[in-house]
Amino acid sequence: MSGLKRIAIFVLTLLIFSASANATANKIKSVKIDHGFTVIEGIPVEVCLTVLDGDGQIIDINCTSIVKINCEKLDVTFINGATSFEYVFKEKSDIIIECDEIVTIKTVNPIPLWFSIIPPLIAILCALIFKEVFSALFLGIFSGSLIIWIYSGAGVFNSFFKAIFSVFDRYVVAALSESTHVSIIIFSMLIGGTVHIITKNGGMQGIINFLSKYARSQRSGQLVTFLLGILIFFDDYANTLVVGNTMRPVTDKLKISREKLAYVVDSTAAPVASIAFVTTWIGAELSYIQSSLINLNLEVSAYNVFFSSLKYSFYPIITLVFVFMLIYMRRDYGSMYKAELRARQKGVTASDQEQKIQCELNEFKVSEKTKARAFNALIPVGIIVFGTIAGLFYTGWDTKIWNDNSIGFLTKLSAIIGKSDSYKALIWASSGGLIIAFVLTTIQKIMSLKEVAESMLNGFKSMLTAILILTLAWSLAGLISDLHTSNFITQVISTTSISTGWLPLITFIVSGLIAFSTGSSWGTMAIMYPLILPATWLLCQQSGLDHEASLAVFSHVTSTVIAGSVFGDHCSPISDTTILSSLASSCNHIQHVRTQLPYALTVALICLIFGTLPVAFGVSVWLIFPLLIFFVWLTIRILGKKYDVN
């Protein structure tokens, strides 16, 4: 028995020792203090506290402790070993917490709020200096990431490398992890592939050949060019390259100057693509709007905001009206009048840029053996357009709304579209259009299966530039959100007593300057949308506007970003569409810029003075459009000189 007693005592001793060891291991060793990736001066941040043991595991403990932040004391209660509280850091502070005689100290150095404007400013300045949007966006993201790491206490040297890595592993990855962003990329590629196939299979050439039959005079020749520019609405690049190159022999024969051809081509490219609801532009526009809506926690459809903004899109719409009136009234003024007069008197001579466009046009050149048939383009494009509409109705359909007789048809339509999944609708429609274009081309043996596939892939590749800009823009938007740049802009605007009525005008001017300097409408939208939309909404809330009024201002500002981008693009000698319009029309580039600039400035001034400002201060938009059309007519009537033409 004595032996059994010894064994029992030994086992008991081991159990006691083990329990004692476990108790020691479960003693509190530290309290983890986490405040997220960024702490901005004056912006509330959630501070999370977690009680840990020696192995770094959370201890299931319920107790109350005191947290000291500088001279302020806060009572916190741990539940299951964790707690959190919201705090506003206004200066460099020490968070001190004592829990079970374990003292944990963490120094928090908040980033001054005004630093949040540095990244977008660097992006804008670099775009102005380097005339290139990729490096501008990258440097903007890098500068903001560098600020964050320096203030986190990583040290200047370490912060430099961490900032570079953060551009990719935090912001780019986060941008590409967003499902809506992936949807936009897929949609853009599908549209690019469709455009390339229906160009190579002679579909668009068929449309052009049909309409060219009606170009019998100088006025009808310009009207056909104008109409083609509107019909090829889904991509501004395809518009300029196809219409300019195809109509050039026709307009040369009719003694229409290359400058006028380039102007008509350029002025029906971006203006149409920017406001049509199924284009290569719409994906980018929706993504920028959606990002802002998510950041502001607004339960509004991006497509709904886009549709609401169309009635404020004065510059793109009035540009089309202006071009039509110039052609119909047979008047021009300034440098364009001199160019047209020279062409009518001496004929059209070839430009020294005749050969430079060939490499671009080869991508859109149709084989001589290919029979141009308009339906090869009309059917796929029709499927994309009507498929999108059907998809919007299908995903947003609500029988209660549709059967509600107390609301009007437009209100019902807006509500259904507002509830729809626009990304699904766009992908369904564009994939359907691509498949039909693929099948039509293959079954008619216009191209082999391999050639159609290569054409589709070339279309995908053509969207790479746009996708890269989008990705960097989404990344910059994520950084701007982390730094609360919109809060800083709102504070500045509110302290300077700027009325919300001036926001659309300011936005148009700034967007126009950036687009003029960078030559990129897409780059301008990438910079401006994440910056101005959140600030606009916050300023509207501070001004005491209700939800509907705030949404109206929000939609107006949304439209002026697009309008200003297109305007600056039209005026810029380094704009891609301006250059392509010159090349496709074989017009001297400087001459194209010189002749187009007075017209673009005229339309912009009319739209700002008689459109944007009055509407921003309460005038009905439906009264404005007739007024704008009248002033366009009056301007052309007064300044324009009429030709003696047939």
Tell me the three-class secondary structure of 126-141, residue by residue.
Answer: HHHHHCCHHHHHHHHH
End-to-end CA distance of the chain: 129
Does position 21 have pLDDT exceeding 50, yes or no?
A: no
Q: Give the angle 531-536-537 at the CA atoms, nearest 5°.
A: 115
What gap in Å lies between CA 195 and CA 208, rounded to an integer? 15
Categorise residue 34: left if φ over 0, alpha if ψ from -120 to 50, beta otherwise: beta
**pLDDT band for position 577 (cuts 50, 70, 90):** confident
Mean pLDDT throughout 445-462?
Answer: 89
Question: Which residues face 311 on adjacent strands?
Answer: none
Name the residue among 466, 448, 467 with its Cα closest to residue 456: 448
For the chain, give the percent of residues with pLDDT over 90. 22
The pLDDT, as a whole number, for residue 1 is: 53
3-state SS assignment for residue 105 = strand
CA distance readout (Å), 276 to 307, 420, 536:
10, 18, 24
The pLDDT, as a whole number, for residue 646 is: 45
DSSP state letters, 356-419: TTHHHHTTTPPPTTSPP-THHHHHHHHHHHHHHHHHHHHHH--HHHHT-TTS-HHHHHHHHHHH
Name the residue among 227, 210, 212 with its Cα closest to residue 272: 227
Does position 24 have pLDDT exceeding 50, yes or no?
A: no
**Amino acid at position 130, single letter:** F
What gap in Å lies between CA 174 and CA 177, rounded to an integer? 5
Instruction: Answer yes or no: are the C-beta atoms of 306 and 562 closer than 8 Å.
Output: no
For each of the domains in the chain, give its residue range(s) and CATH number, in order of start. Answer: 30-110 (2.60.40.10), 114-177 (no CATH), 181-642 (no CATH)
For the chain, give the percent of residues with pLDDT over 70. 87
DSSP 8-class letter at 110: P
69 CB contacts (<8 Å, ≥6 apart)? 87, 93, 94, 95, 96
What gap in Å lies between CA 96 and CA 83, rounded to an integer? 15
**pLDDT band for position 139 (cuts 50, 70, 90):** very high
Q: How far is CA 271 from the centre of its chain?
A: 15
Mean pLDDT throughout 330-358?
Answer: 74
E runs forming strands in 453-498: none
**pLDDT band for position 364 (cuts 50, 70, 90):** low
What gap in Å lies between CA 275 and CA 298, rounded to an integer? 23
- Note the residue count of the chain: 646
Question: Which residues face 96 on adjacent strands?
Answer: 68, 105
What gap in Å lies between CA 183 and CA 187, rounded to an integer? 6
Which comes out higher in pLDDT, residue 600 or 181? 600
Which comes out higher in pLDDT, residue 140 or 404? 140
Over residues 257-304, the pLDDT tens digits come to 999 999 999 999 889 888 887 676 777 787 788 888 887 888 887 878
Mean pLDDT throughout 133-138?
Answer: 82
Task: Give 295-303 contacts, CB < 8 A, sequence gap 24+.
Answer: 295/477, 295/481, 295/486, 295/534, 296/534, 296/537, 296/538, 298/537, 300/418, 300/551, 301/417, 301/418, 301/419, 301/420, 301/422, 302/422, 303/277, 303/392, 303/417, 303/418, 303/420, 303/422
- Lowest-confidence range among 33-37, 513-517, 553-557, 611-615? 513-517
The pLDDT, as a whole number, for residue 278 is: 65
Instruction: Answer yes or no: are the C-beta atoms of 305 and 289 closer than 8 Å.
Output: yes
What gap in Å lies between CA 525 and CA 522, rounded to an integer? 5
Write out the two tokens for 241: 């390259």
DSSP state letters, 618-633: T--HHHHHHHHHHHHH
The pLDDT, as a whole number, for residue 572 is: 81
Element (H, E) at 75: strand 72-78
* Average confidence score pLDDT of the chain: 82
Largest CA distance in the chain: 131
Element (H, E) at 85: strand 82-87
Mean pLDDT throughout 638-642?
Answer: 89
Mean pLDDT throughout 181-210?
Answer: 83
The pLDDT, as a whole number, for residue 352 is: 41
The pLDDT, as a whole number, for residue 440 is: 93
**pLDDT band for position 567 (cuts 50, 70, 90):** very high
**Amino acid at position 457, single letter:** L
CA distance readout (Å), 284 to 176, 472, 562:
14, 12, 11
**pLDDT band for position 492 (cuts 50, 70, 90):** confident
CA distance readout (Å), 497 to 490, 494, 542:
11, 5, 11
The pLDDT, as a whole number, for residue 19 is: 45
The pLDDT, as a whole number, for residue 517 is: 67
